[in-house]
C-alpha cells in the first residue's frame, strides 16, 4: 500500500516537473518571438553600425522649436523646447556632420541633435539642454557611430539597440529554454532508471 502511494506521488511529481519544463520552453519561445518582432528589426535596419571618433566643432542652442509627443495621431500634443545643434568633425572621413543622440532623434526632429521627453516644467527641459551643450563643449572628443555605406551623412552618439544589448536581450530566454529542456531531460532519465530498476 505504501509502495503504491510512493509510486503515485512520484508520478505526480514527474508530471508537474514536465509541465514546468514545457511551460519554461513555451515562455522562452514567446520571448524569442517578441524580441524578433520588436528589437531585432530596429537593430538590423540601423545603418549607423561603425564606431569612430567625433570631435566637436560647435554646439549651439537655437530658438525654440515644436515637437509632437506622439506620431501618427490626430490629437498630437505639441510642446516647445530649445533646439540644440551639435556639429562634429568625423574622424573617419574628415567631414563636418551633424550629431544626433540616437536613430530615434533623427526621425522625431532632424533639425535638432537632442529631443527631450515631454515634461510639464519647461525650465527643467531648458536646464537639461544647456547642461548637454556645456558637456559637449567641455568634452571635445568622444566615440560616435556613422554609416559606412554613405546613405546617411550624419552621425549618432549612441545606438538604441547595440550588439551587447541585443545579446543581453536573448540571454534570459536562452537560459529559460535551457533550464526547461534540462528539467524535461532529467525527468525522462529518472523515469528510464525507474523502469530499468523495476525490470531488474
Domain that holds residue 56: 50-161
Residues 116 and 177 reside in one and the same domain: no
Flag whether 99 is in a domain. Answer: yes
Residues 81 and 134 reside in one and the same domain: yes
pTM: 0.68
CA 46 to chain centre: 13
Flag whether 151 is in a domain. Answer: yes
Residues 108 and 173 reside in one and the same domain: no
pLDDT tens series, the chain, 200 aa:
544 554 565 677 778 888 899 999 999 999 999 998 888 888 888 888 888 889 999 888 887 665 544 444 443 456 678 889 999 988 767 788 999 999 888 888 888 899 887 666 778 888 888 889 888 888 888 899 988 887 788 899 988 888 787 888 899 999 999 999 999 998 888 878 877 776 76
Residues 190 and 96 reside in one and the same domain: no
Flag whether 3 is in a domain. Answer: no
Residues 63 and 132 reside in one and the same domain: yes
Flag whether 24 is in a domain. Answer: no
Residues 154 and 173 reside in one and the same domain: no
Residues 127 and 72 reside in one and the same domain: yes
Q: Phi, psi (5° rounding) for residue 46?
A: -75, 130
Flag whether 101 is in a domain. Answer: yes
Residues 118 and 136 reside in one and the same domain: yes
Residues 135 and 153 reside in one and the same domain: yes
Number of CB atoms found within 10 A of residue 28's CB: 20
**Tally of structural domains, the chain:** 2
Residues 85 and 133 reside in one and the same domain: yes
- Cα-atom radius of gyration of the chain, to the nearest Å? 27
Residues 137 and 188 reside in one and the same domain: no
Flag whether 72 is in a domain. Answer: yes
Flag whether 139 is in a domain. Answer: yes
Residues 136 and 156 reside in one and the same domain: yes
Flag whether 13 is in a domain. Answer: no
Got the DSSP string for 114-170? Answer: --PPP-S-HHHHHHHHHHHHHHHHH--EEEEEE-TTSS--SEESS-SS-HHHHHHHH
Q: Nine-digit cell at 89? A: 568633425
Amino acid at each position: 500500500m505504501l509502495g503504491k502511494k510512493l509510486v503515485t506521488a512520484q508520478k505526480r511529481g514527474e508530471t508537474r516537473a514536465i509541465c514546468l519544463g514545457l511551460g519554461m520552453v513555451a515562455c522562452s519561445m514567446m520571448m524569442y518571438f517578441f524580441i524578433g518582432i520588436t528589437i531585432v528589426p530596429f537593430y538590423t535596419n540601423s545603418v549607423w553600425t561603425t564606431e569612430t571618433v567625433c570631435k566637436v566643432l560647435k554646439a549651439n542652442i537655437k530658438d525654440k522649436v515644436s515637437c509632437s509627443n506622439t506620431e501618427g495621431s490626430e490629437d498630437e500634443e505639441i510642446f516647445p523646447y530649445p533646439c540644440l545643434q551639435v556639429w562634429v568633425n568625423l574622424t573617419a572621413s574628415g567631414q563636418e556632420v551633424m550629431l544626433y543622440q540616437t536613430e530615434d532623434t533623427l526621425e522625431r526632429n532632424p533639425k535638432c541633435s537632442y529631443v527631450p521627453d515631454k515634461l510639464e516644467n519647461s525650465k527643467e527641459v531648458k536646464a537639461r539642454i544647456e547642461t548637454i551643450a556645456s558637456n559637449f563643449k567641455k568634452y571635445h572628443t568622444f566615440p560616435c557611430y556613422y554609416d559606412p555605406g554613405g546613405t546617411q551623412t550624419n552621425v549618432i552618439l549612441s545606438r538604441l539597440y547595440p550588439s551587447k544589448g541585443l545579446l543581453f536581450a536573448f540571454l534570459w530566454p536562452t537560459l529559460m529554454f535551457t533550464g526547461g529542456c534540462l528539467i524535461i531531460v532529467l525527468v525522462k532519465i529518472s523515469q528510464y532508471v525507474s523502469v530499468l530498476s523495476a525490470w531488474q
